[in-house]
Amino acid sequence: MQESNVFATLNAVNCNEHTEKKGNLTYLSWAWAWKIVKTHFPDANYTIYENPDGWNYFTDGRTCWVKTSVTIQGLEHIEYLPVMDSRNQSIPFEAVRSFDVNRTIQRSLTKACARHGLGLYIYAGEDLPDAIDKPTQQPVQQQNSNYQGRQSWRQNYHQPIQ
């Protein structure tokens, strides 16, 4: 099967019944993500990268992050994710616990599955700025139609976006 078919297969899966809401964010459990991936692609595997000292996280002395990947049919998608608290704020290095790292690894693997298509719609809009300034001019028609297309795409999934 070609990579595009992997993406099309996983992107077509509706994950809504397996998501959980925490605050204003929607999460797909890592266990459900991995079960769905392995059901469709039994040879899929994942990697949890280690730093040169053998730790399963990386640090610059101020914060920490993890690096994971999911490989399906020879295509590896790598994901980096900061170690965060329950409010999605980066945890200072001196306060990081092994539980925080473990939870971040699972979230990172789920995001790596999304790069292959699984539940990708859940992450749509997460990179938007917190506050958007109101435009001073009328947006051009093309931008407006893209926005409307994105809104209808969201409504089709009946999924709240972060």
Domain coordinates in residue numbering, the chain? 3-157
Helix (H) or strand (E) holding 63: none
**Percentage helix, strand, coil for the chain under 3-state DSSP, each rounded to 5:** 40, 20, 40
Q: Which residue bears the tokens 């991936």? A: 37
Q: What per-residue confidence (pLDDT) applies to 32?
A: 95
Higher pLDDT, 151 or 33: 33
Most confident of 23-27, 36-40, 124-128: 36-40
Radius of gyration of the chain (CA): 18
Q: What per-residue confidence (pLDDT) applies to 126?
A: 64
Res. 86 pLDDT band, cuts 50 70 90: confident
DSSP string, 75-143: EEEEEEEE-B-TTS-BPPGGG--HHHHHHHHHHHHHHHHHHTTTTGGGGTTTTS-SS-PPPSSPPPHHH
pLDDT by residue (tens digit) across 93-129?
999 999 999 999 999 999 999 999 999 998 886 655 4
Average pLDDT for the chain = 81
Query: Please, are residues 14 and 118 in contact by the beta-carbon 8 Å criterion?
Result: no
Answer yes or no: is pLDDT of 2 > 90: no
HSE of 139 in the Cβ direction (CA atoms, 13 Å)? 11
pLDDT by residue (tens digit) across 60-82?
999 999 999 999 999 999 999 99
Tokens encoding 84: 């965060």
Answer yes or no: is pLDDT of 11 > 90: yes
State how far the Cα of 76 lies from the Cα of 151, in Å rounded to an integer: 30
Q: What per-residue confidence (pLDDT) applies to 4?
A: 59
Query: In a 10 Å sphere around its CB, with 0-12 CB exposed, 13-18 middle and 19+ buried, how is residue 54 labelled?
Result: exposed
The amino acid at residue 24 is N
Percent of the chain with pLDDT over 90: 62
